[in-house]
Structures are given as C-alpha cells and as structure tokens.
C-alpha cells in the first residue's frame, strides 16, 4: 500500500477517536437525568435529512472523479469535483440555516448543556467539511491551471478518503442526533 | 544471495550536520536527524525551566510556614512544573530519540513524511512557548497538570492561564499525533530489504506500537480540551455542575488519555532499555517475542485502567472492582519485561558503562514505582492515599525512574552517534551517583509524607511531627540533584569538543544505526546490507571474518 494511504488510514482513525469522544459526550449530555433533553424537539429532522442526502451524494461525485476516462477526461474530472464542492456548500448552507433557526428560538451553545454538546459536535463536523472544501477547491484550481500532474493521484485519493470519512462521520452524527431525537 | 541493496537516490554530495550550523539551516531543515536533535535540545531547555520550578517548590516547602512563594504563585509553579515535565520535557525527549533513531535503525535515509516531521516539531515548540507566554499574559495556569473541572472553569479560574494551558496542549497534542503518524508509516513502508517486522530492533517495535497508543489517546484529550475551551470562551456548560454539566466527564476524558499517556512515556523508555541492556551484557535480548508481545498487551490494557485515578470519586463498587482488576492485570506484561531484561543480563559479560548503569538503575527504581502503582490498584489503599504525597512519590518514581533515567541511558548510549564523540565516562559516573542519591533522597521520603497524611499541592503545611524534618531532608537532596544535572549539562558541552572520538560503532552494537558515520552524513546510508537476522551488524562482522566482502566501501569496524 502506498505511504499516503497508510497515512490517511491512521490519520482518519485518530480523527475517529476525536469524534467518538464528542459523540459520547453528546449522548451523555443530551440525556440529562436519563431522558432526552426537551430542547431536542426543536431540531428539524426533515430538512436535515435532505441536506444529509446532498452530503452523501457528494461522496458519490468524488468517487466519480477517479472513475472518468476517455477523451473528455479533464472536463468530466473538473465537472465532478465542482459538483462535489457545490454539494458540500449546499450541506454547509443547510447546517448554517439550521443553526440560524435554532438561535432564533434562543438555543445557543451557552443556553443549556444540550446546546453546548449539539453545537460542539455538529460544529466540529462542519469545520471538517470546510477543511475538505478548501482542499478540494485547491485541487480544483490546480487541475484547472494544469499544474501538479505528478502528485495528482495522491492528492485526489487522499482527499477522497478524507471526504468519505467526513460523510461517514456525518451519518453517525445524523443518526445519533437527529434520528435519536425523533425516536 | 544478495549481501547489499543500494538505495535509489541521486548521489549528490550533501552537507554535513556539524559543518553547516547556520540558524536558517536548522530552521528550514526537514532532515530527521536535525529535527531529532532540535527535539532533544528543546527538551533540555524546558527541563531546566521545569527543574527550576521544582526547586522553587522544594525551597518553599523546606520548612513549615515559609513565605518564599505566595499561594497564588505556588499554584502556578506546580501546574507549570507538571505540564512542562510531561508535555515539554519527557514527550519531546522520547520523540526526539525516536525521530533521530527510528529511520537509522531500519536502514532508511528519511522519515516517510519529512515535512510533516518538521511541522510536528515546530508546532510542539510553539505550543511550549505559548504555555510559557502565559506568565506575561496575566498569569500561568494554576489548576494542576490535569486541570480538574469545575476549578478550571471561568468562574473559579478567571485568569487566562487555563486557556493558554488548553491551547498549548492542543498544539503539542497535534504535533505528537503528527509524529506518531510518521513513525507508523515509516516503520511500515521504509524498512530495508530483509528486515521483517519480526526482525526490527525492539526499539523500533516499541515506538511503532506506542504510536498507536498516541493515535488513540491524544484525540480524546483534544476533544476534552476543546470542550473546556468552549466552556471557558463561549460559556458552554460541559463541565460546570452548577448549570447541568458534569465535572466527572472531564475526569473521564482526561484520564482516558492520561493513563495511556503514562505508557506513552514509559514504552519508549522500555525501548531504550531494550537496546542498551543487551549491548552491554554482550548477549541477544532474552525473549524478544515476549517483550514484543507484552508491549502490545500493555497497549491494549492501558485503555481499560483509567478510572483507577478516580477511585475517590465514588463511582460504585462494581466500577471500582473492574478497574482495580485491570490495573493489577497490566502489571503482568510489565513484570514480564523486567524479568526479560534481568534474564538478558544473567550470565552476560556486563560492562558497567554509564549508559548501562542508568539502565540497571531503571530496573530498580521503576520497580519501586511500579509496586507503589500496584498498591494504588487496591481501592481502600487508594482512598487512604489519594491526592497525598504518596501519589507524588509514585508519579516521580515512574516518570523519573523509568522515563528520565532511560533518557539518560539513551543520551550516554547514542551521544557518540549523534555528535561523533563519547561522553566523558568519569563525569558520567559522577552524574550517575549524584543523581541516584539525589533522586532517591528527594523522592523516597514522599512515600512517608503521604502515609503521614501530607496532601499534595499545598503551598505550606503546619508543623506536625516529622513533616518539617522529612521535607527538609527532601529539599537537601534536591540540591544534590542540582549538582548532578550541572555535571550532566557540563558533560554534554565538554564532550562535544573534548570527548574521545567515537568511530562508527564505539559500543560494538548490532543495530543498523551503528553502520553510519558518527555523526551520520546528511544522507545516512549509501548502502545497507540485506538484513538476515535481528543483529545485522554481527552478521556483517561474521561474514567479513569469513572472507566475504559484505560492504564494498563502507567497511565496518569490528572488534
């Protein structure tokens, strides 16, 4: 296995421990006294499910970047990377609007312990999406300008691994936070 | 049969470390040897700071009711002492050794990710500087090295010290994770032909396994640190019991990291001992497989023992019993190692060089620390002794008795490789004996003070029977410790210029780092033998003696 893949696997494994700690904290803090916090009812399950769908779709599009071949290869590559970035931005927009809506109903990081745990967990996930988008945008610009052919594959595969990981983390977070809230 | 494998790299004459000592050359370096040296040097500088803080505490405690340090300052000093010694001295010392030696031992010219290596070092260093900057920025952290909530929350600790503490440890944690990723990838991908994972030196194996410990433990600490930062800066409620949070959650998060951290600092020390003891006993290590396997056992078990730091919290009998049992279990793989090292020395022709003296002292001092540790696994004993000076004695016998002493053994053992000159053995013996007497004199009485009921982290104490005399005794011997460290630091500088030239392999050792020049050229190896056993240099010597030219130009020194 090439070095960068080994690196990415172990790096993502350590990231998984980071999120595991935050998820455990969320599960603990969202159940003060054993029952789900009353604040959880203000979460918007349907809209978040929709935005979750967009983020999952971006995993598919980044997979397609590596699969394109034929004479229009460069065009399709650019197309699928752009799609990934756009889908990621849509997800971030969704998360932003969810935050804005919650804050209007006075649910903030400092409101109660549920708010602290919710915003910390989803916020750190969002931060990882932003980092992924920055990496993908750099990759997009570099591909556009035709530079860095030699390491293109390395960067693309590492970025995809990272992006898939961020999606999987969101699936877990979505299950714990949103599906957990309507059960 | 191939006897050597060339490394496919351009053969450009590269600068030598000793010749090019311009500052920019070091700052911009991505060479693992230079970064390793920078780690070791920063560790030494922070050691002087951390040790001075310890001395201030010892002077303050020499007699009951002294007023050298105010209570506020004393809190800052002991917090900075603990944080400095653990995160800024022992960790970088061990990472420094690993960064320098791990590639050399597996016959590689570089780490897998040289720039990540430089990043890890610099983010660690700036984290350390940031921590000390807190003195100028309104007060150093003052809540102990494990920053228990809710004391570390804003309403109880208003100065920005805890923020600096959390951010700088976060930075150092990221640096440590980066280094661990590098060690894992380097070990997996860059071993020389023939060196299977069952043939790597135990040093490499332990650093490799230890890296997994880092990768799993540090992220949990980072999660806790960001939570306390969000608590303090954005007024969240994670650890504030008054508003629905849980102070206990911080203890869990900290010790889920904190106990593996003890092993993160101990395993590399074991790694050094596993190199030094066989070489100076002139025998292969006894039970290689058992030492390797018990390392893995320690790694796995270390994640199941954290709550023995929390017996006094009142988690319930079942909970306590579970963690008491696991804590006793982990003593077994550690004990296996001790017996393996003893058996390695058994009937060996032991050469008591300073490095070996330190390695032997490690076996004794660490056993004392280990035994008091097993004592803590007994819940009622822990209830009696928790947060007393007995704990302080235990932690110092583990961190000094294992980590620092092995660090000294490592310095005496590898200094010839790093600088090309052997440390003065005469000064080394002075350093050793002053250190052993100073260390035991300072810390052994802490056991008694703890049993008598002296709590840790108090800036002074009442004039109870024995308290004053035992504390004075400890302070007296800490002065001897100053002497020993002065001899050590003088020796480092003196031998850099005046030491005996080392040659490639002054100890007649067997692992690949001794195949390079001392100090190694920037490109350490031009040619590496195909490894056929766990002691490659011995194979080369044997084949040279039997007339086969193993290496065309490098020509190994042989006894």
The 3-state secondary structure of B184-211 reads HHHHHHCCCCCCCCCCCCHHHHHHHHHH
The mean per-residue pLDDT over the stretch B492-496 comes to: 94
Contacts of A15 in chain B (CB under 8 A): 219
Query: Would B555 be classed as within a structural domain?
Result: no
Least confident range of B111-125, B386-400, B530-544:
B530-544
Q: Residue B135 is inside which H or E element, if any?
A: none
Q: How confident is the model at residue B6 (pLDDT cuts 50, 70, 90)?
A: low
The contact set of B with A (CB < 8 A) is 112-113, 177, 180-181, 184-185, 188-189, 215-216, 218-220, 222-224, 226-227, 230-231, 234-238, 243-246, 249, 253, 256
Q: Is B227 in contact with A115 (Cβ distance < 8 A)?
A: no
Least confident range of B29-38, B309-318, B416-425, B548-557:
B548-557
pLDDT at A67: 85
List the beta bridge partners of residue B421: B501
Contacts of B246 in chain A (CB under 8 A): 28-29
HSE of B161, CA atoms in CB hemisphere, 13 A: 24
B194: left (phi over 0), alpha (psi -120 to 50) or beta: left
Q: Residue B157 is inside which H or E element, if any?
A: none
In B, minimum Cα distance to A110 occurs at B236
CATH class of the domain whose range is A3-182: mainly alpha
Contacts of B184 in chain A (CB under 8 A): 6, 10
In B, minimum Cα distance to A21 occurs at B220
Say whether pLDDT at B552 is over 70.
no
Query: In terms of DSSP bridges, do strands B4-6 and B500-501 run parallel, antiparallel, or are they unpaired?
Result: unpaired
In B, minimum Cα distance to A22 occurs at B223
Contacts of B224 in chain A (CB under 8 A): 21
Least confident range of A64-73, A127-136, B424-433, B523-532:
A64-73
Chain A interface test: which of B111, B113, B154, B237 (most A C-beta within 10 Å): B237
Contacts of A151 in chain B (CB under 8 A): none
In A, minimum Cα distance to B250 occurs at A25
- What is the nearest CA distance from A35 to chain B, expressed in angstroms? 14
> Which of A22, A29, A112 lies closest to B223 in CB terms?
A22
Say whether pLDDT at A150 is over 70.
no
pTM reported for the whole predicted model: 0.93
Q: How confident is the model at residue B272 (pLDDT cuts 50, 70, 90)?
A: very high
Say whether pLDDT at B3 is over 60.
no
Q: Residue B215 is inside which H or E element, if any?
A: helix B202-234
Q: How confident is the model at residue A182 (pLDDT cuts 50, 70, 90)?
A: confident
Short-list B174, B182, B184, CA closest to B223: B174
- What is the nearest CA distance from A142 to chain B, expressed in angstroms? 21
Query: Would B529 be classed as within a structural domain?
Result: yes
Q: Is A14 in contact with B246 (Cβ distance < 8 A)?
A: no
pLDDT tens digit string along B52-93? 999 999 999 999 999 999 999 999 999 999 999 999 999 999
pLDDT at B5: 57
pLDDT at B556: 44
Query: Would B490 be classed as within a structural domain?
Result: yes
**What is the per-residue DSSP string for B86-112?**
IIIIIHHHHHHHHHHHHHHHTT-SS-S
Alpha helices, DSSP H only, in B347-424? 354-377, 379-385, 389-398, 405-419
Q: How far apart are CA B135 and CA B151, in angstroms?
A: 19
Q: Is B227 in contact with A120 (Cβ distance < 8 A)?
A: yes
Q: How confident is the model at residue B20 (pLDDT cuts 50, 70, 90)?
A: low
Contacts of B243 in chain A (CB under 8 A): 112-113
Short-list A123, A118, A58, A56, CA closest to A95: A123
Contacts of B180 in chain A (CB under 8 A): 14
List the beta bridge partners of residue A136: none
The mean per-residue pLDDT over the stretch B544-558 comes to: 53
Say whether pLDDT at B437 is over 90.
yes
Q: Is B181 in contact with A7 (Cβ distance < 8 A)?
A: yes
Q: Is B218 in contact with A115 (Cβ distance < 8 A)?
A: no
- What is the nearest CA distance from A58 to chain B, expressed in angstroms? 27
Query: Would B362 be classed as within a structural domain?
Result: yes
Say whether pLDDT at B550 is over 70.
no
pLDDT tens digit string along B297-347? 999 999 999 999 999 998 999 999 999 999 999 999 999 999 999 999 999
HSE of B423, CA atoms in CB hemisphere, 13 A: 27
pLDDT at B67: 92
> Which of B185, B218, B234 lies closest to A3 in CB terms?
B185
Contacts of B215 in chain A (CB under 8 A): 10, 13-14, 17
Q: How confident is the model at residue B259 (pLDDT cuts 50, 70, 90)?
A: very high
- What is the nearest CA distance from B250 to chain A, expressed in angstroms? 10
Number of domains in chain B: 1
Q: How far apart are CA B61 and CA B446, in angstroms?
A: 12
Q: What's the CATH code of the domain at B323?
A: 1.20.210.10
The mean per-residue pLDDT over the stretch A27-46 comes to: 90
**How many Cβ atoms are within 10 Å of A64's Cβ, its own excluded?**
16
Tokens of A38: 């009353």
pLDDT tens digit string along B203-222? 999 999 999 999 999 999 99
The mean per-residue pLDDT over the stretch A49-62 comes to: 96
Percent of chain B scoring above 70 in pLDDT: 94
The mean per-residue pLDDT over the stretch B121-147 comes to: 95
Q: How far apart are CA B78 and CA B143, in angstroms?
A: 9
The mean per-residue pLDDT over the stretch A64-90 comes to: 88
B203: containing domain: 35-545
The mean per-residue pLDDT over the stretch B30-49 comes to: 96
Mean of per-residue pLDDT scores for chain B: 92
Q: Which residue is it, tokens 């023992």?
A: B305
Exposure of B257 by Cβ count < 10 A (0-12 exposed, 13-18 middle, 19+ buried)?
A: buried
Contacts of B226 in chain A (CB under 8 A): 120, 124
Chain A interface test: which of B115, B181, B211 (most A C-beta within 10 Å): B181
Percent of chain B scoring above 90 in pLDDT: 87
In A, minimum Cα distance to B253 occurs at A21
Q: How confident is the model at residue B136 (pLDDT cuts 50, 70, 90)?
A: very high
Radius of gyration of chain B (CA): 24
Q: Is A109 in contact with B236 (Cβ distance < 8 A)?
A: yes
Exposure of B548 by Cβ count < 10 A (0-12 exposed, 13-18 middle, 19+ buried)?
A: exposed
Q: Is A11 in contact with B181 (Cβ distance < 8 A)?
A: yes
- What is the nearest CA distance from B113 to chain A, expressed in angstroms? 9
The mean per-residue pLDDT over the stretch B264-268 comes to: 96
Short-list B532, B531, B524, B530, CA closest to B33: B524
pLDDT at B142: 93
Query: Would B227 be classed as within a structural domain?
Result: yes
**What is the per-residue DSSP string for B501-533?**
E--S-TT---SGGGGS-SSPPSS--SEEEPP-S
Query: Would B167 be classed as within a structural domain?
Result: yes
Question: What crossing angle do the helices spanning B202-234 and A113-144 adopt, rounded to 10°?
Answer: 120
The mean per-residue pLDDT over the stretch B28-35 comes to: 92
**How many Cβ atoms are within 10 Å of B559's Cβ, its own excluded?**
5
Q: Is A25 in contact with B223 (Cβ distance < 8 A)?
A: yes
**What is the per-residue DSSP string for B111-133?**
-S-HHHHHHHHHHHHHHHHHHHH
Say whether pLDDT at B256 is over 70.
yes
Q: How far apart are CA B219 and CA B215, in angstroms?
A: 7
pLDDT at A147: 67
Q: How far apart are CA B40 and CA B90, in angstroms?
A: 10
The mean per-residue pLDDT over the stretch B180-196 comes to: 95
The mean per-residue pLDDT over the stretch A102-119 comes to: 94
Q: Is B112 in contact with A10 (Cβ distance < 8 A)?
A: no
Give, in order, the Cα–Cα distances in Å from A3 to each of A156, A165, B111, B211.
Answer: 14, 18, 11, 16
pLDDT at B299: 95
Q: Is B185 in contact with A7 (Cβ distance < 8 A)?
A: yes
- What is the nearest CA distance from B223 to chain A, expressed in angstroms? 6
pLDDT tens digit string along B351-405? 999 999 999 999 999 999 999 999 999 999 999 999 999 999 999 999 999 999 9
Say whether pLDDT at B176 is over 60.
yes
Domain boundaries defined on chain A:
3-182
How many residue pairs from chains A and B have C-beta atoms closer than 8 A?
89
Query: Which residues, including other chains, have CB under 8 Å from residue B27's CB and lie 6 or more apart?
Result: none
Q: Residue B143 is inside which H or E element, if any?
A: none
Query: Would B343 be classed as within a structural domain?
Result: yes
Decide which of A69 and B174 is more confident. B174
CA A90 from centroid of its chain's CA atoms: 11
Query: Would B6 be classed as within a structural domain?
Result: no
Contacts of A23 in chain B (CB under 8 A): none
In A, minimum Cα distance to B182 occurs at A7
Q: Is A120 in contact with B224 (Cβ distance < 8 A)?
A: no
In A, minimum Cα distance to B190 occurs at A3
Mean of per-residue pLDDT scores for chain A: 92
Q: Is A112 in contact with B237 (Cβ distance < 8 A)?
A: yes
- What is the nearest CA distance from B243 to chain A, expressed in angstroms? 7
Q: What is the DSSP letter of B453?
A: T
- What is the nearest CA distance from B90 to chain A, expressed in angstroms? 22
């Amino acid at each position: 296995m090439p070095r960068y893949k080994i690196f990415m696997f172990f790096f993502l494994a350590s990231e998984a421990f980071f999120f595991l700690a935050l998820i455990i904290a969320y599960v603990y803090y969202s159940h003060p006294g054993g029952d789900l916090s009353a604040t959880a009812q203000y979460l918007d399950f349907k809209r978040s499910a929709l935005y979750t769908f967009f983020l999952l779709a971006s995993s598919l599009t980044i997979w397609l970047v590596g699969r394109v071949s034929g004479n229009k290869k460069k065009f399709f590559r650019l197309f699928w990377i752009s799609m990934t970035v756009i889908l990621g931005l849509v997800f971030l927009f969704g998360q932003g609007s969810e935050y804005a809506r919650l804050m209007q109903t006075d649910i903030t990081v400092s409101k109660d312990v549920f708010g602290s745990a919710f915003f910390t967990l989803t916020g750190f996930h969002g931060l990882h999406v932003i980092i992924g988008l920055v990496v993908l945008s750099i990759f997009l610009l570099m591909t556009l300008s035709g530079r860095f052919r030699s390491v293109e594959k390395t960067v693309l595969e590492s970025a995809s691994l990272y992006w898939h990981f961020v999606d999987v983390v969101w699936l877990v977070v979505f299950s714990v936070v949103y599906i957990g809230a309507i059960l | 049969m191939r006897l050597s494998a060339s490394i496919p790299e351009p053969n450009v004459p590269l600068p030598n470390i000793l010749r090019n000592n311009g500052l920019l050359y070091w700052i911009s370096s991505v060479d693992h040897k230079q970064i390793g040296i920078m780690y070791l040097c920063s560790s030494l500088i922070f050691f002087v700071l951390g040790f001075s803080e310890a001395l201030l505490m010892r002077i303050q405690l020499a007699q009951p009711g002294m007023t050298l340090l105010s209570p506020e300052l004393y809190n800052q000093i002991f917090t900075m002492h603990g944080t400095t010694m653990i995160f800024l001295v022992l960790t970088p010392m061990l990472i420094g050794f690993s960064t320098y030696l791990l590639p050399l031992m597996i016959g590689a010219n570089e780490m897998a990710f040289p720039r990540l290596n430089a990043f890890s070092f610099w983010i660690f260093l700036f984290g350390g500087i940031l921590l000390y900057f807190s003195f100028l920025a309104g007060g150093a952290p003052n809540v102990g090295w494990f920053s228990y909530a809710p004391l570390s929350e804003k309403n109880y600790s208003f100065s920005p010290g805890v923020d600096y503490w959390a951010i700088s440890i976060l930075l150092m944690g990221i640096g440590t994770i980066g280094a661990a990723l590098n060690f894992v990838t380097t070990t997996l991908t860059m071993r020389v032909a023939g060196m299977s994972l069952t043939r790597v030196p135990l040093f490499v194996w332990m650093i490799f396994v230890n890296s997994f410990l880092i990768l799993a433990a540090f992220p949990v600490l980072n999660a806790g640190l960001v939570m306390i930062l969000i608590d303090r800066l954005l007024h969240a409620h994670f650890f504030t019991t008054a508003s629905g949070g849980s102070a206990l959650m911080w203890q869990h998060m900290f010790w889920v990291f904190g106990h593996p951290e003890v092993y993160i600092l101990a395993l590399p020390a074991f790694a050094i001992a596993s190199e030094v003891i066989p070489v100076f006993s002139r025998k292969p290590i006894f039970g290689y497989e058992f030492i390797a396997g018990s390392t893995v056992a320690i790694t796995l078990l270390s994640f199941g023992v954290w709550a023995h730091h929390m017996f006094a919290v009142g988690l319930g009998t079942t909970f306590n019993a579970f963690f008491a049992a696991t804590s006793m279990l982990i003593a077994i793989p550690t004990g296996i190692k001790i017996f393996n090292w003893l058996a390695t020395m058994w009937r060996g022709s032991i050469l008591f060089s300073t490095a070996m003296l330190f390695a032997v002292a490690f076996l004794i001092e660490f056993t004392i620390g280990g035994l008091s540790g097993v004592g803590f696994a007994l819940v009622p004993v822990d209830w009696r002794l928790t947060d007393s000076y007995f704990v302080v004695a235990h932690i110092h016998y583990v961190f000094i008795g294992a980590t620092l002493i092995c660090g000294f053994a490592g310095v005496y053992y590898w200094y010839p490789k790093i600088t090309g000159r052997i440390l003065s053995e005469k000064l080394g013996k002075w350093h050793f004996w002053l250190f052993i007497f100073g260390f035991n004199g300072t810390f052994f009485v802490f056991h008694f003070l703890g049993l008598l009921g002296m709590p840790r982290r108090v800036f002074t104490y009442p004039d109870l029977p024995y308290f004053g005399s035992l504390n004075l005794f400890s302070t007296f011997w800490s002065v001897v410790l100053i002497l020993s460290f002065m001899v050590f630091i003088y020796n480092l500088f003196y031998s850099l210029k005046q030491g005996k030239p080392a040659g490639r392999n002054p100890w007649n050792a067997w692992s690949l780092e001794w195949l390079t020049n001392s100090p190694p050229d920037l490109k350490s190896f031009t040619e590496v033998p195909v490894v056929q056993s766990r002691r490659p240099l011995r194979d080369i010597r044997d084949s040279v003696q039997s007339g086969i030219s193993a290496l065309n130009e490098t020509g190994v020194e042989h006894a």
